[in-house]
Structure 1
Amino acid sequence: MPIRFGLIFDAFLQGVIIPYKNRFRDSKIRISMNILTVKEKAMKKVILAISLLVAGSAVAAPPAPFYRWASKLNGFITCAQTSPGSGWVLASPTPYRDAGCRVPY
């Protein structure tokens, strides 16, 4: 099974294959590759910690309150967290906990 050029190039970049003329610098190449992997591991840990913090804060956030909205056209009342559109006005400024606008905060 032939080895593709891309796999050989990737192995060279990772320090697995050392060219003949660079054999004396073998230790320097491997040390520099280890430093890169340590930096990458540290960056992955930082990104993971930040994403967990953001996800945790989103889970702990309370839901948005519901409000009663009245239609300008026919006075129909509905309950929504945001305005249903330009044809609606706030019927009461009281915030509610449920989607039926029955339990006030």
Structure 2
Amino acid sequence: MVDRKELLTLALLGLEAQQGRIMDKIADVRRELSQLAKPAAPTPKPRPIKKNKRGRKWTPEQRKAAAERMRQMNIARKKPVPKKRKPMSAARKKILSQKAKARWAAKKAKQ
């Protein structure tokens, strides 16, 4: 009969052989994946767009022209303020009141 130590040693050798075969298969699969992942022709990287750190600058003439355009636009947009009426005098109020009373009296007389 085979003793326990010998049995375990044989089992270990078998498992190590299996592990070697599995590792070979893993390496083959990884190699195939790396070949599939590589593009046929390397694509050139797009060049980054350089940005001006300070932004766009207007010349003083351009700023003045833009300010003048805005002023003209705001003037055109504003509505003219209606003129204030002069306060009505007491005599004028009395005349208008009498005319309104006469109209009402004429209207009631027709009914």
Sort the TM-score into its range (normalised by shorter chain): 0.3 to 0.5
TM-score by length of 2: 0.36
Q: Which has more helix, going by share of residues?
A: 2
Instruction: For CA contacts below 8 A with separation 6 or more, give which structure has more relative contact order.
Output: 1
Higher normalized strand content (fraction of residues): 1
